[in-house]
Amino acid sequence: MRQMTVVVFGGSGFIGSAVVAQLVEQGVRVRVPTRRAEHARHLIFLPTVEVVELDINRAAPAALAALLDGADAAINLVGVLHSRRGAPYGPQFRQAHVELPRRIVAACAAAGVPRYLHMSALGADRDGPSMYQRSKADGEIAARSEDSVAATIFRPSVVFGPDDHFLNLFAAMQKWLPVVPLACAGAEFQPIYVGDVARAFVHALRDPKTRHQVYALGGPAIYTLAELVRLAGHWSHHRRPVIELPAALGRLQALLFELLPGTPLMSRDNLDSMKCDNVLDPAIQALTAATLGIKLTALEAVAPGYLSPHERLDDFRARAGR
Ligand SMILES: NC(=O)c1ccc[n+]([C@@H]2O[C@H](COP(=O)([O-])OP(=O)(O)OC[C@H]3O[C@@H](n4cnc5c(N)ncnc54)[C@H](OP(=O)(O)O)[C@@H]3O)[C@@H](O)[C@H]2O)c1
């Protein structure tokens, strides 16, 4: 069978790296553009991967055309969690979630790339309560903006795996803080394993029935935010009391985080996203998993392994041959 070539935008990130690894296992040739080559240094030794230092936001049309030349598909996993405020969303959300996919899809059409897989998020909604959700909804419109490029859209709930951005954060917080003051403690999530999300993308590349479809993705169980924080504390052996904050205090806490230098731990927009539960209908979930060939992995089967300090040490020793 002819070897496929796929360009993975956002391939250096948490989910992107899992997608790239599975594509490589399948013998696919992968090109990964990154704004900084060092963000993708963990990918450069993979056998069929080419890392290209290129900022898509500023790239000349000729550079984008060269990147997509001869590709069978493009996958876009670019995303940000924070943005300055704005209506309907701030400039960072506009750039990463709306303008960038529009550019990529237009470049695919110009280069004759027929297929585009797009990462959105569960809760994407033009009228949603958060800028993140509104920008993700407009990103989906951008994903479908060229008739000659068949898009497939994925909307996962929160994603877990060894380098995830949420259970690892909850574990780290409990290592350093005596208590965890938590806003939106009752918000519900349906965490899905990063390897299962990657499998969905790889499956969709080969299955023409997935063209023009939108898939909501969730794991096998639903948890509240407080339950996830407690589990992360338990598995990392640093369990601390969780203090559920009332809405006004939670908002004040988020505002304070936004005022601190660096990436905020939590923003007011993150709280707005949690006004809607991040879960899906069980019937849809089962059908989607079957359609995409995924056997859903339980949180309990994987997360203790990467959060536990003992397991981490064993893993380090095994890698060091001791
Ligand atoms: N993680 C989750 O729980 C979750 C849940 C639902 C949906 N999603 C969506 O899944 C996608 C991937 O998430 P992730 O957790 O893997 O994110 P991540 O680890 O933060 O990776 C983000 C990627 O996007 C690229 N990127 C970020 N800002 C960019 C910008 N302004 N211009 C160009 N490239 C930019 C980065 O590339 P370089 O730095 O190498 O350029 C990086 O490869 C995102 O669209 C996210 O919204 C994630």
Span 80-137, pLDDT tens digits: 999 999 999 999 999 999 999 999 999 999 999 999 999 999 999 999 999 999 999 9
What is the distance between the alpha carbons of residues 129 and 275, in angstroms, rounded to a whole number?
A: 7
| Closest-CA residue to 77 (of 19, 138, 147) | 19
d(CA 118, CA 14): 15
| Res. 309 pLDDT band, cuts 50 70 90 | confident
Interval between CA 81 and ligand 1 midpoint (Å): 8
Asked whether the predicted pLDDT for residue 318 surpasses 80, the reply is no
Kindly state the percentage of the chain with pLDDT values over 90: 90
Q: Give the number of other CB atoms < 10 A from CB of residue 137.
A: 21
pLDDT of residue 321: 53
Q: Residue 66 pLDDT > 90, yes or no?
A: yes
Q: What's the confidence (pLDDT) of residue 281?
A: 87
Number of CB atoms found within 10 A of residue 75's CB:
28
pLDDT digits (tens, 9 = 90+) for 221-243: 999 999 999 999 999 999 999 99
- C-alpha–C-alpha distance, residues 160 and 167, integer Å: 7
Compute, in angstroms, the gap from residue 178 CA to the centroid of ligand 1: 31
| Rounded distance between C-alpha atoms, residue 89 and residue 4, angstroms | 37
Which pLDDT value is given to residue 320? 53
Which residue has the least CA distance to atom 36 on ligand 1? 10
pTM tops 0.85, yes or no: yes
Residue nearest to atom 46 of ligand 1 (CA): 79
- Structurally, what CATH architecture does the domain formed by 5-157+193-217+281-297 represent? 3-Layer(aba) Sandwich (3.40)
How many angstroms does the Cα of residue 122 sit away from the middle of ligand 1?
15
**Residue 126: count of CB within 10 angstroms of its CB:** 13
Q: Which atom of ligand 1 is nearest to 39's Cα?
A: 40
Bridge partners, residue 159, by sequence? 192
What are the extents of the domains in the chain? 5-157+193-217+281-297
Q: What confidence category does residue 279 fall into, taking pLDDT thresholds of 50, 70 and 90?
A: very high
Distance of CA 251 to the CA centre of its chain: 25
For residue 33, give the nearest of 2, 77, 91, 1 by alpha carbon. Answer: 77
